[in-house]
Amino acid sequence: MGKLSTWRNGVMRRVEGRSAREIATLTLKTLRHTARSFSPAAARARRADQAFDRRWGTDTGGTMNLSALNVARERALLGFGYQASNGVALKDAMKIAAIDPARFTFIDYGSGKGRVVMIAAATGFGRAIGVEFAPELHEVALTNADRFAAAGGAARRCEMVLGDAGSYAPPRGPVFAYIYNSFGPVILREVLERLEQRAAAGEEIIALYVNPRHRNAFEDEDRWHVVADREDWVLYRPAPAAR
């Protein structure tokens, strides 16, 4: 099969059965995604990818559109594709949070290939969990966790969970939630509601929202208060009433 027909078949598979509105949304996302891949920020991200992967023998680089992955279509339309964090926001937010990471379970909601889960494990979190709904990315994350552990990256193995972030029930105990713009407000609210329930039951909860495009999901009903607000991340704790 020639390149053109492979490309055509791929496009047909992605648009099959979608409404005109869904195809328009998908096309817009693909165009934005392509434009971003040429930006200076994307070049910096590529260099960070390479440095991390060279050091640990992992594969955390690249970008991946959700339409190319094996995920339920109605959930894919509410989420964003893969691009790894570089760990800078986590490092900066940790200074401000002033917590002992060993007491906390770190959860990356929409963890992709698991880079920030590995960074969190190396930072000393008691547990480091990644929740990812795309099986292709989850498989890569499992291999990465093995390689990272074998290379001595962290004392405790990272836990990679295959599943939808919106239905993931966090374990008991203090939680440090990490969200790198993995999805829009619908799934974000599902995630936050579970965290709010934990907070109401007396658990200590902190949430770091990186590339915070849907802050309303946190801020609209005064359920969370802003601990720190930076150019590309916001650190939250549940508001006293929600605790």
Ligand X SMILES: C[S@@+](CC[C@H](N)C(=O)[O-])C[C@H]1O[C@@H](n2cnc3c(N)ncnc32)[C@H](O)[C@@H]1O
Q: Please say which residue, 149 or 200, places its beta carbon nearer to ligand X.
A: 149
Q: What tokens were used for 44?
A: 């910096």
Residue with the CB atom nearest ligand X in the bound state:
110
Stretch 159-178: interaction string toward ligand X, x if CB under 6 A = -----xxx------------
Residues of this chain, 72-101, that bind ligand X according to CB under 6 A:
75, 79-85
Q: What is the DSSP letter of 171?
A: P
Beta strands in the chain (DSSP E): 63-64, 82-83, 105-109, 127-132, 159-162, 175-180, 205-210, 224-229, 233-238
Closest CA to 237 of 188, 186, 181, 198: 198
Query: Is residue 133 part of the contact set for ligand X (CB under 6 A)?
Result: yes
Judged by CB under 6 A, which stretch of 146-154, 181-189, 199-207, 233-241 contacts ligand X? 181-189
Stretch that binds ligand X, among 10-18, 46-54, 129-137, 148-156 (CB under 6 A): 129-137
Record the tokens describing residue 141, joined without a space. 């994350």
d(CA 152, CA 76): 35
Residue 224 near residue 193, CB atoms below 8 Å: no
Site pattern 2..41 for ligand X (x: CB under 6 A):
----------------------------------------
| Site of tokens 């200590």 | 204
Which one, 43 or 241, has the nearer CB to ligand X?
43
Q: Shortest distance, CB of residue 4 to ligand X, whole angstroms?
A: 28
Looking up tokens 């929740």 gives: 131
Q: In this chain, which of 132, 207, 223, 235 binds ligand X, going by CB under 6 A? A: 132
Least Å distance, CB 243 to ligand X, is 26
